[in-house]
């Protein structure tokens, strides 16, 4: 499959997740076979104003796999300027967020607020296309609420203005993350557009990925929460297997690798804090790991981590 001129190898991409899909995590998911990897959502206003923190979010090497930068905002003019700025950072793809349900984002008329305004979505796509040579994707929800399930309209409008692919998360903005991702709406979008469709929501293993692809005919899937502490999911989906549980020593090895990358990219003080949530996820399902997670959330320095990893390696 191609997104614009970018070849996509593999069946599952890494969905954008604020606070999660930073450079370290993306590189790990890439290593484990993610078809492409997406940044955290980046504010177009932050880019336009040259905000330092915003610019840090787009730092990448992301060698090997296509890298997509996701933008969020509300004004086509800001998107136009942001597209020019972002193109200098050489991502492979620009993704546009029409799906974020966070109250702060909705209040600023960005994210899934824009599902209410398909015409404005089209204008935003058009602004980005005109200001960059990169392929442009959009990420939509099923609609704003149950009375407005208009993912098909939004997807068609975006396709008309040049979007090269659309990711559909089958929940409404109002649902946030509750209930289940609606496969029927993903199928409806797939039946209505010619561009590739990436199905999203509740993929936790090969079987759920296969079911979504078979049911909706979507081209590939995007994995979000299923990849937390579990980048092996990409390997499993690519090799069509559900029956894989990483051993404790494999997990500890990856925890160390992840932490080392975070330290390299963010410095020890910041890394030790940001690593906590990731390392906690890696321990999910290990017998007696609740007590270990408590220690992880109090971890201050590298020697705290080494102690935790020794404790984990003693578990039989």
Ligand X SMILES: Cc1cc2nc3c(=O)[nH]c(=O)nc-3n(C[C@H](O)[C@H](O)[C@H](O)COP(=O)(O)O)c2cc1C
- Contacting range for ligand X; rule: CB under 6 A; set: 27-35, 96-104, 142-150, 280-288: 96-104
Binding of ligand X at residue 216 (CB under 6 A)?
no
Binding of ligand X at residue 20 (CB under 6 A)?
yes
Distance CA 140, CA 172 (A): 9
Residues 129-148 that bind ligand X (CB under 6 A): 139
Choose which of 35, 58, 86, 100 interacts with ligand X (CB under 6 A). Answer: 100
Smaller CB distance to ligand X: residue 223 or 248?
A: 223
Tell me if 254 sits within 8 A of 282, measured CB to CB.
yes
Residues in Cβ contact with 16 at an 8 Å cutoff, skipping those fewer than 6 apart:
38, 39, 40, 41, 68, 70, 95, 97, 139, 224
Smaller CB distance to ligand X: residue 100 or 263?
A: 100
Residues 23-52 that bind ligand X (CB under 6 A): 40-41
Choose which of 153, 157, 164, 202 interacts with ligand X (CB under 6 A). Answer: 202
75 token code pair: 């004004």
Choose which of 60, 65, 123, 169 interacts with ligand X (CB under 6 A). Answer: 169
Binding of ligand X at residue 229 (CB under 6 A)?
no
Distance CA 157, CA 120 (A): 9
- Contacting range for ligand X; rule: CB under 6 A; set: 18-26, 55-63, 275-283, 299-307: 18-26
Torsion sign over Cα 23, 24, 27, 28: negative
| Burial class of residue 211, CB neighbours in 10 A (0-12, 13-18, 19+) | middle
The DSSP secondary-structure symbol of 140 reads: E
Interface ranges with ligand X (CB under 6 A): 15-20, 40-41, 70, 97, 99-100, 139, 169, 200-203, 223-226
């Amino acid at each position: 499959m191609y997104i614009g001129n970018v070849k996509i190898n593999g069946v599952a991409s890494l969905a954008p997740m604020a606070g999660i899909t930073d450079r370290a995590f993306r590189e790990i998911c890439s290593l484990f076979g993610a078809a492409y990897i997406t940044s955290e959502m980046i504010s177009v206003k932050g880019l336009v104003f040259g905000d330092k923190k915003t610019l840090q979010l787009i730092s990448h090497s992301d060698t090997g796999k296509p890298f997509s930068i996701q933008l969020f905002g509300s004004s086509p003019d800001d998107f136009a300027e942001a597209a020019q700025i972002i193109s200098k950072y050489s991502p492979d793809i620009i993704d546009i967020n029409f799906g974020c349900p966070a109250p702060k984002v909705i209040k600023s008329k960005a994210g899934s607020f824009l599902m209410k305004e398909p015409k404005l979505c089209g204008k935003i796509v058009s602004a980005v296309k005109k200001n960059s040579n990169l392929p442009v994707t959009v990420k939509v929800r099923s609609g704003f609420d149950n009375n407005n399930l208009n993912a098909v309209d939004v997807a068609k409008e975006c396709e008309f203005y040049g979007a090269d692919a659309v990711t559909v998360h089958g929940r409404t903005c109002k649902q946030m993350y509750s209930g289940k991702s609606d496969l029927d709406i993903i199928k409806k979008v797939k039946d209505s557009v010619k561009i590739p469709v990436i199905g999203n929501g509740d993929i936790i293993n090969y079987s759920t990925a296969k079911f979504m692809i078979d049911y909706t005919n979507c081209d590939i899937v995007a994995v979000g929460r299923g990849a937390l502490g579990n980048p092996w999911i990409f390997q499993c989906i690519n090799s069509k297997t559900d029956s894989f549980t990483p051993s404790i020593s494999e997990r500890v090895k990856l925890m160390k690798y992840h932490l080392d990358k975070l330290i390299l990219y963010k410095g020890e003080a910041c890394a030790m804090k940001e690593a906590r949530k990731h390392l906690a996820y890696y321990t999910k399902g290990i017998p007696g790991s609740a007590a270990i997670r408590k220690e992880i959330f109090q971890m201050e320095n590298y020697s705290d981590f080494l102690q935790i990893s020794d404790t984990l390696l003693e578990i039989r």
